[in-house]
Structure formats: structure tokens, C-alpha cells
Amino acid sequence: MRDFFLGSDTSTAPKARIEAATLQRPEGARHYLKALPGGAAAGKRPLVILLHGAGSSAAQLLGLKFPPSPLSLWLEMAEREHLVVIALDGSKRRGERAWNDS
């Protein structure tokens, strides 16, 4: 059970590659990470959107920063199931990342 809380750091399964991207919005740039599975797409791929909790980030959500989130297992699922996974960063509010309720 302990490994669940470590995220996928201890796993040796193949993981989707991660790309950083920015979306320009009227209120300012919004940053996100995109996990893409390897290999050519045989057609359209399903999209999964992950939202982090207050004070966290897309990088932490995908296991790139400490402490890694258990949701970083989505990188393995994206590779295995040929999914595209997007992890959004909330906007800055009082030094934290939050959503549009800020």
C-alpha cells in the first residue's frame, strides 16, 4: 500500500513522454503539460484532463516534482492505452496555483 502514495516513481512500466505547452488566453498565458504515448496514432485518441489541488502544480501531478502525486500513474496508462493526458496549471493566487474561482 505504501507504494501507492509514492506515485509511479518506483514503477518500471513504459511512460508517455511529457511536453510543456502554453495556451494564450485574454486573462494571460495558461501553462500545461501534455503526455503523449509513443507510436503513430491509428486514429483519434481519447483525451484525459487532470486538475491539481490548491497549492500543487501540473508538474507535481505528473510526478516531475516532489512529492509525486499518485495520479502520475496516468503516464503509464497513457502509454499502455494510447491516451493523451493534459495536466493544467491553475492561475497564480497569493503565491498558490488555483482555478478560475481565484
C-alpha cell at 15: 511512460
Length of the chain: 102
Range of the domain at 11: 2-98
Among the listed residues 18, 11, 15, 5, the one whose alpha carbon sits nearest the alpha carbon of residue 87: 18
Average pLDDT over residues 23-33: 86
pLDDT digits (tens, 9 = 90+) for 29-68: 889 999 999 987 788 899 999 988 877 889 988 988 887 7
Q: In this model, does residue 98 exceed pLDDT 90?
A: no
Residue 75: give its domain's CATH number: 3.40.50.1820
Structurally, how many domains does the chain consist of?
1
Statement: residue 101 has pLDDT above 60: no
